[in-house]
């Protein structure tokens, strides 16, 4: 008799994706300037460590917030006992105001429509539980965040159908790509319940244009389906064009008193904008009362601790601080992004033009031995083991074109980023020498494969067995 459930033993969690495997490889041999200078540098983790000093300085000036105190008096007991799944009203108010601030106060949010969740991971899954039954589908533009396979599908049984976006137009969403995906879902006998976009995009680092947002709203309007906008990176937009939230376009295009108004749901989290993924703070914002009520009940399975809510309600209510933090953080991201783009450029590698996020979408198509996903994985393994950088291959983000990689730049020091860039440069130069040697030898009509020779010591260490561990 099988003693474990299908869920516990099925293989649909996605942990064997190269995205997560890269993390495992990094864990085995992490770079450290002193202890392990030849180790792997982690560029596969979209963490924001650039503005911790600002948060720490605020904590230093506001000892009550982190010390279970209000006006100097201990509120330890209140925090230890309180846990209503509706969340602390003060925190919800502070969070909706912060969300509005990030959107330039062009829109306002009602805290009654907000559901608190343990991060955007939980928010996205909860929305799936509210909007889709097992076997129903959501359409997602590619490339998309690899975690969605786990968050949207694994426990809910929902399906993802890709909206195929292409490099030829900068991976923009088009009407024909939306229609194609819808048709594909129908061909697979799946009921389409909605579209989910990430704005700004992970992994592209680009914001959706007004045109794209209008197109999406008109598409979900015509088809009678939902739109989820994961806006977890909304505060990371460091360059023009500015961030436009779907909420802004809903209002501008007079969807307020239509059915579409209730079918648009926003996901948010403080994991990226404040760099606090460990605090597990996320939210769903929806205009549909039934969704809000169901999601609130479901949030019992992933609440934010009252201690965290208390601390962050004090921090986010400090408007002077949030204003300074948001603008300074964006300045720092902009500088990092420029460093990364310039560094890669000097190695002959270009990035998709981007204005947001904690990563670049890097074009390494010219370094592939052939235009295939096998060649992409071959190159990725070289970059992990030989170059010592864990970046994420485009295939792990379901990109339809081989040769694109996501490389993160905000989870390390400037020195480490410079070292990473130097490592890439050395690799590209040695590959160029190898290619030159190869063509010289070909000219001499020899069959020696010099590329193979140069990389012989590397030898595909990531065997199938290694992956299973």
Ligand X SMILES: Cc1ncc(COP(=O)(O)O)c(C=O)c1O
Which residues are tagged catalytic?
Answer: 145, 230, 232, 272
How many angstroms separate the Cα of 248 from the Cα of each of 24, 51, 174, 201, 236? 40, 28, 20, 18, 18
Q: How far apart are CA 91 and CA 88, in angstroms?
A: 5
What 8-state DSSP symbol labels residue 75? -
Residues in the interface with ligand X (CB under 6 A) total: 14
Nearest to 418 by CA among 339, 353, 305: 339
What minimum distance in Å lies between the beta carbon of 18 and ligand X?
16
Interface with ligand X by CB under 6 A: which range of 118-126, 186-194, 249-257, 415-423?
118-126
Q: Does 121 bind ligand X (CB under 6 A)?
A: yes
Closer residue to ligand X, CB minimum distance, 137 or 283: 283
Q: How far apart are CA 112 and CA 285, in angstroms?
A: 9
Q: How far apart are CA 421 and CA 353, in angstroms?
A: 18
Q: Does 359 bind ligand X (CB under 6 A)?
A: no
Closer residue to ligand X, CB minimum distance, 283 or 367: 283
How many angstroms separate the Cα of 325 from the Cα of each of 32, 67, 134? 29, 22, 42
What minimum distance in Å lies between the beta carbon of 158 and ligand X?
16
Q: Does 119 bind ligand X (CB under 6 A)?
A: yes
**Which residues, 136 to 175, sit near ligand X by CB under 6 A?**
145, 147
Interface with ligand X by CB under 6 A: which range of 81-89, 204-212, 269-277, 400-408?
269-277
Q: Which residues contact 429 (CB under 8 A, 6 or more apart)?
A: 347
Q: Does 17 bind ligand X (CB under 6 A)?
A: no
Interface with ligand X by CB under 6 A: which range of 60-68, 116-124, 287-295, 447-455?
116-124
Interface with ligand X by CB under 6 A: which range of 113-121, 134-142, 183-191, 430-438?
113-121
Secondary structure element (H or E) that encloses residue 217, with its range = helix 210-223
Closer residue to ligand X, CB minimum distance, 67 or 147: 147
Closer residue to ligand X, CB minimum distance, 202 or 450: 202
Residue 197 preceded by cis peptide, ω within 30: no
Q: Does 269 bind ligand X (CB under 6 A)?
A: yes
Residue 411 three-state SS: coil
Q: How far apart are CA 66 and CA 52, in angstroms?
A: 15
Measured from each CB, the residue nearest to ligand X is 119
| Contact (Cβ atoms closer than 8 angstroms) between residue 233 and residue 357 | yes
Interface with ligand X by CB under 6 A: which range of 57-65, 117-125, 309-317, 432-440?
117-125
Looking at the DSSP assignment, which residues form a beta bridge with residue 407?
360
What minimum distance in Å lies between the beta carbon of 46 and ligand X?
5
**Which residues, 270 to 289, sit near ligand X by CB under 6 A?**
271, 277, 282
Instruction: Determine which residue in the list 43, 46, 165, 250 makes contact with ligand X, applying CB under 6 A.
Output: 46
What minimum distance in Å lies between the beta carbon of 47 and ligand X?
9
Secondary structure element (H or E) that encloses residue 192, with its range = strand 192-198
What 8-state DSSP symbol labels residue 96? H
Nearest to 403 by CA among 428, 430, 436, 374: 374
Looking at the DSSP assignment, which residues form a beta bridge with residue 192?
137
Q: How far apart are CA 440 and CA 306, in angstroms?
A: 67
What minimum distance in Å lies between the beta carbon of 270 and ligand X?
7
What minimum distance in Å lies between the beta carbon of 37 and ligand X?
28
What minimum distance in Å lies between the beta carbon of 449 and ligand X?
39
**Which residues, 197 to 236, sit near ligand X by CB under 6 A?**
198, 202, 230, 232
Footprint of ligand X (CB under 6 A)? 46, 119-121, 145, 147, 198, 202, 230, 232, 269, 271, 277, 282
């Amino acid at each position: 008799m099988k003693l474990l459930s299908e869920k516990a033993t099925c293989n649909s969690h996605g942990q064997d994706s190269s995205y997560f495997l890269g993390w495992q490889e990094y864990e085995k041999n992490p770079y450290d300037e002193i202890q392990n200078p030849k180790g792997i540098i982690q560029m596969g983790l979209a963490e924001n460590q650039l503005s911790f000093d600002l948060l720490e300085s605020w904590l230093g000036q506001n000892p009550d917030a982190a010390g279970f105190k209000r006006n100097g008096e201990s509120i330890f007991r209140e925090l230890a006992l309180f846990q209503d799944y509706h969340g602390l009203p003060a925190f919800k108010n502070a969070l909706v105001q912060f969300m509005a601030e990030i959107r330039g106060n062009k829109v306002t949010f009602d805290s009654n429509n907000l559901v608190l969740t343990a991060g955007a991971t939980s928010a996205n899954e909860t929305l799936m539980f509210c909007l889709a039954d097992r076997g129903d589908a959501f359409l997602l533009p590619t490339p998309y965040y690899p975690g969605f396979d786990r968050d949207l599908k694994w426990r809910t049984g929902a399906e993802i159908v890709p909206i195929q976006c292409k490099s030829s137009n900068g991976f923009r969403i088009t009407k024909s790509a939306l229609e194609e995906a819808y048709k594909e879902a129908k061909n697979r006998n799946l009921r389409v319940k909605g579209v989910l976009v990430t704005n700004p995009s992970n992994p592209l680092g680009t914001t959706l244009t007004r045109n794209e947002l209008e197109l999406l709203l008109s598409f979900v309007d015509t088809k009678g389906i939902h739109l989820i906008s994961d806006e977890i990176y909304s505060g990371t937009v460091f360059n023009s064009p500015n961030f436009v939230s779907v909420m802004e376009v809903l209002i501008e295009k007079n969807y307020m008193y239509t059915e579409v108004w209730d079918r648009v749901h926003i996901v948010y989290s403080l994991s990226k904008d404040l760099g606090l993924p460990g605090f597990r703070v996320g939210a769903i914002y929806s205009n549909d009362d039934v969704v809000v009520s169901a999601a609130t009940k479901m949030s019992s399975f992933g609440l934010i601790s009252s201690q965290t809510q208390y601390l962050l309600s004090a921090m986010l209510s400090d408007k002077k601080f949030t204003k300074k933090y948001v603008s300074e953080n964006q300045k720092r991201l902009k500088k990092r992004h420029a460093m990364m783009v310039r560094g890669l450029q000097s190695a002959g590698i270009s990035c998709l033009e981007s204005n947001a996020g904690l990563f670049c979408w890097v074009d390494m198509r010219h370094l592939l031995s052939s235009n295939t996903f096998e060649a992409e994985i071959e190159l990725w393994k070289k970059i992990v083991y030989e170059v010592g950088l864990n970046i994420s291959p485009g295939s792990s983000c379901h990109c339809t074109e081989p040769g694109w990689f996501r490389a993160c730049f905000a989870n390390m020091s400037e020195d480490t980023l410079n070292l990473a860039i130097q490592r890439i440069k050395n690799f590209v130069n040695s590959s160029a020498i190898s290619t030159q040697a190869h063509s010289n030898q070909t000219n001499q009509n020899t069959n020696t494969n010099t590329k193979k020779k140069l990389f012989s010591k590397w030898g595909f260490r990531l065997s199938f067995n290694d992956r299973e561990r």
